[in-house]
Structures are given as C-alpha cells and as structure tokens.
Amino acid sequence: MAKIDRGKEGLRIPSKPHRMADDKPLRYETKLVPIRIQFFIRLNKKTLRTLTKWRNKMAEAPNKTTEDQRPKRIGERPVGISGIISITAYLIIFSGFLLYSIIQFWPTLPPSGGANPDQSVTFLFSTFSISDEIRSVLIVTLSGALGSLVHALRSFYKYVGNRKLVWSWLAMYIMLPFVGATLGLVFYLIIRGGFFPQATTKETSPYGFMAMAALAGLFSEQTILKLKKVAETLLTEPEKGENHLPETQEDIKGKTP
C-alpha cells in the first residue's frame, strides 16, 4: 500500500496507478492537497461521528412521549417561591381579618334589668349602630368564609410540602373564602326560614348558626353536592353541557386539593 507523505505545503495522497511503457512496476502519481482541504476532511469526519452518536441515541430512546417531553398546558407549571409567599400572606391576613370581624360583630349580652343591649359596633376605627338581624347575617357570612379558609390553609401547606402546587389551583385558593361565605349565608337562610320562621334573634343562639355556616364553608364541595341532590329531587334535572365536568364524590376526593 502506498504511503501518504505529509509536508509543509499539504497532504500528498496517491492517485490512480498507471503502467509504464516498458512494463516496469506500477508507480503512483501524487497530488498536492491544500491545508484547507485537510481541515474540511477532518471536520467532516468529526461531524459524521457526532451524527452517528446522535442517531444511535435516538434509536435507543423510547418512542412513547414522556412527561417531560409532552407540551405543558396552561397553569401546569409549578408555583415558585414568590407565588407561595404571596398566597401564604393572603390566607393568613384574610383569616385574621375574619376573626377580628366576628369578634367585633358578636352580639353583646343584654344588661341586667331588662334594658335593651347596646347595638353599636366599633369596626376599623369607626363606630356605628347595627340591628340584631343584620348582625346575625354578618356573623354567619364571616363564619362560612372562615371555614373555607381552614380548608384552604390545610390544602395549601399539604401541596406545598409535597411540591405539587401548580398555578392552576391558585384561583381556587383566592376565591374559596367567597364561596364559603355565600354557602354559609344560604344555609343560614334555609335553616332559619325552614325551622325558625317565627323566632327572633333573641330566641336563637348565634353559636349554632355560626357552627353550621363554618361547616358549610369547610366542606364546601360536599355541601354543594348535597344541595344539588336536593334540588334535583325537587326540581327537574338540567341537561349536561358539552364541556360538563363530573361532580361525584370520587372526583372530589381525587382532584380537589
């Protein structure tokens, strides 16, 4: 095999052999390969090796799409440290505000001698008078929101501790106290109108209504399902929409944080 000479000018490689006129042994003519061509030859070899390795890795990779490869949906990204701190501050401050409001609106005991109790309330550096009926409505509304905040706080630290909190659930944590407040008020109206239609606020205890509203807010999903079953029993069940989501007890256990 002919040797390849390497000189200062370039790389000498053998060309095609040809036979001499006097039948002497074959001799080779050499061609001078510039240094630039040598560089491109080596570069092409390196690129070829890289492409070969990449092709082998792609052949060994599984065909099915993994969790990391599939496209992310809206709200599926994990919540960062700033979002966690913001929601934590929101839940704690809102809980303190509700506790303060319930204490301020709590009915005062009537004084001895049968005189009317003081109906003035001091709230956020202002003093005003309020009736007993409005005071009861405010207490049950605030209690329902407080019950929902208990559920939100418990769910929030659980998902943060397990590193599974995503952005799509933050809307629930923000709006859950308002849902609980509404449910507490609805339950109060149902119980008050159904079982105590003629009773006044002096003849009822605020503790019972407050406990009922707080439980309605704490178990808001179960409360809505129970009200839905009662409504479907008394009224006509509506048709399900195209984008209807199932609302069974199993779905609540598996999907609700």
Give residue for tokens 């944590």.
Answer: 173
Which of 220, 131, 135 shows the shortest CA–CA distance to 182? 220
pTM higher than 0.85:
no
**Would you put residue 92 in left (φ > 0), alpha (ψ -120 to 50) or beta?**
alpha
pLDDT greater than 50 at residue 30 = no
pLDDT digits (tens, 9 = 90+) for 160-185: 988 888 888 899 999 999 999 999 99
Amino acid 220: pLDDT: 85
Q: What is the pLDDT of residue 111?
A: 59
Among candidate residues 107, 74, 67, the one with its CA nearest the CA of residue 202: 107
Mean pLDDT of 2-6: 47
pLDDT computed for residue 87 by the predictor: 93
Distance CA 3, CA 40 (A): 21
pLDDT of 225 above 80 = yes
pLDDT digits (tens, 9 = 90+) for 133-143: 888 899 999 99
CB 79 within 8 A of CB 165: yes
Residue with more model confidence, 40 or 108: 108
The tally of CA atoms less than 13 A away on the side-chain side of residue 155 is 22
* The Cα angle at residue 180 between residues 174 and 183, in degrees rounded to 5: 145
117-165 pLDDT, tens digit each: 667 888 888 888 888 888 889 999 999 999 999 999 999 999 998 888 8
Calculate the CA 32 to chain-centre distance: 68
- Whether the per-residue pLDDT at 206 is higher than 70: the answer is yes
Q: If you search the block for the tokens 């019950």, which residue do you land on?
A: 147
Q: How many CA atoms lie within 13 A of 192 on its CB side?
A: 22
